[in-house]
């Protein structure tokens, strides 16, 4: 059974801090790993990672994948209160189906 | 990214009744999915909505409880039948592979359901 484990489950930091969120996974026939940000209801897509060691960047957010150690990290630098959200990591299953298996998420709170 | 709308955005329902949630996409998509997010939990896949055939349900979800329709490539409905308070959740539809993209799923705005 595919598995996604995120840590920490919650994190409180001050504005301006840098945070690192972790995601480890177990899936047969790995295809990709996705990061989402969920503020109210709908998760919004951040990154899709398929290759080890290649960093994806978008502004203050970046993410990298390690396929040998089966994990990914999401970094947010110079955090702002608007970064407060639940960050979700997900993988498509390896068995040929197409739905996503999600981790429990990291609830990030940025204090002013 | 695809523009996805869901109706209703929220509802409060009585135990034993049914609610149908609609999901509309602004472009033809190959795959549509329905997820549930119970309070304080992550997203769990309910089923894949297949155009022109029956939906494919994940373990723990059955057609009698969550009938799904997918009449064309831009629209799907999920019905939550014979509701109980345990069905109180956010229900989300998502789409996979809009034209020109692969593997990324985009989510609709969600329907927050409360069952009394």
What would the pLDDT profile of A25-64 be if each residue is shown by its tens digit? 998 888 889 999 999 888 999 999 988 888 999 999 999 9
> Nearest by CB to B103, which of A40, A92, A101?
A92
Q: Could you say which residues from 72 to 111 on chain B have a Cβ atom under 8 Å away from some Cβ of chain A?
A: 90, 92, 94, 96, 103-110
Q: What is the largest CA-CA distance in chain A?
A: 45
CB pairs under 8 A between A and B: 57
Do the Cβ atoms of A32 and A25 come closer than 8 Å? no
d(CA A110, CA A83) in angstroms, rounded, equals 7
How far apart CA B4 and CA A45 sit, in angstroms, is 13
pLDDT digits (tens, 9 = 90+) for B17-37: 999 999 999 988 888 999 999
pLDDT digits (tens, 9 = 90+) for B50-89: 888 889 999 999 999 999 999 999 999 999 999 999 999 9
Q: Which residue of A has its CA nearest to B97?
A: A98
Neighbours of A4 (CB within 10 A): 22
- Cβ–Cβ below 8 Å for A43 and B92: yes
3-class secondary structure, A83? helix
For chain B, how big is the Rg over CA atoms in Å?
13
Determine whether the interchain pair A34/B1 forms a contact, defined as Cβ–Cβ distance below 8 Å: no
Cβ distance of B42 and A32 shorter than 8 Å:
no
Which residues in chain B are closer than 8 Å to A3, comparing Cβ atoms? none
How high is the pLDDT of residue A31?
85
Query: Can you tell me the mean pLDDT for B83-98?
Result: 90
Q: Distance between CA A80 and CA A18 in Å, rounded? A: 10
B38 interfacial to chain A (CB closer than 8 Å) = no
| Residue (of A42, A96, A19) closest to B92 by Cα position | A42
Mark out chain A residues that contact chain B at CB-CB < 8 A. 31-32, 34, 36, 40-45, 48, 50, 88, 90, 92, 97-105
- Pairwise CB contact (< 8 Å): B42 & A88: yes
Share of chain A above pLDDT 90, in %: 73
Chain B residue numbers touching A50 (CB-CB < 8 A): 103
Residues from chain A contacting residue B106 (CB–CB below 8 Å) = 45
Are A100 and A88 in contact by the 8 Å Cβ rule? The answer is no
Q: In what order do the strands lie in the sheet with B4-7?
A: B4-7, B19-25, B75-80, B68-72
Q: A51 Cβ partners below 8 Å, 6+ apart?
A: A65, A67
Which residue out of A43, A90, A94 would a mutagenesis test of the B interface target, given it has the greatest number of B Cβ atoms within 10 Å? A43
């Amino acid at each position: 059974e595919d598995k996604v484990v995120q840590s920490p489950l919650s994190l409180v930091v001050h504005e301006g801090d840098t945070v690192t969120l972790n995601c480890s996974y177990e899936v047969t026939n790995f295809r990709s790993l996705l990061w989402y940000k969920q503020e109210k209801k709908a998760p919004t897509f951040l990154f899709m990672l398929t290759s080890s060691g290649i960093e994806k960047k978008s502004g203050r957010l970046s993410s990298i994948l390690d396929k040998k150690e089966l994990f990914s990290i999401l970094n947010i630098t110079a955090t702002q209160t608007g970064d407060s959200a639940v960050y979700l990591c997900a993988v498509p299953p390896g068995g040929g189906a197409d739905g996503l298996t999600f981790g429990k998420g990291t609830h990030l709170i940025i204090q002013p | 990214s695809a523009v996805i709308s869901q109706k209703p955005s929220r509802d409060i329902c009585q135990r034993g009744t049914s609610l149908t949630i609609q999901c509309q996409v602004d472009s033809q998509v190959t795959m549509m999915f329905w997820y549930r997010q119970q309070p304080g939990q992550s997203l769990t896949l309910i089923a894949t909505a297949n155009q022109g055939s029956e939906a494919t349900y994940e373990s723990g979800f059955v057609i009698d409880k969550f009938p799904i329709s997918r009449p064309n490539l831009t629209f799907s409905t999920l019905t939550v039948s014979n509701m109980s308070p345990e069905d109180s959740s956010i229900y989300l539809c998502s789409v996979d592979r809009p034209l020109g993209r692969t593997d990324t799923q985009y989510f609709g705005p969600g329907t927050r359901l409360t069952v009394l």
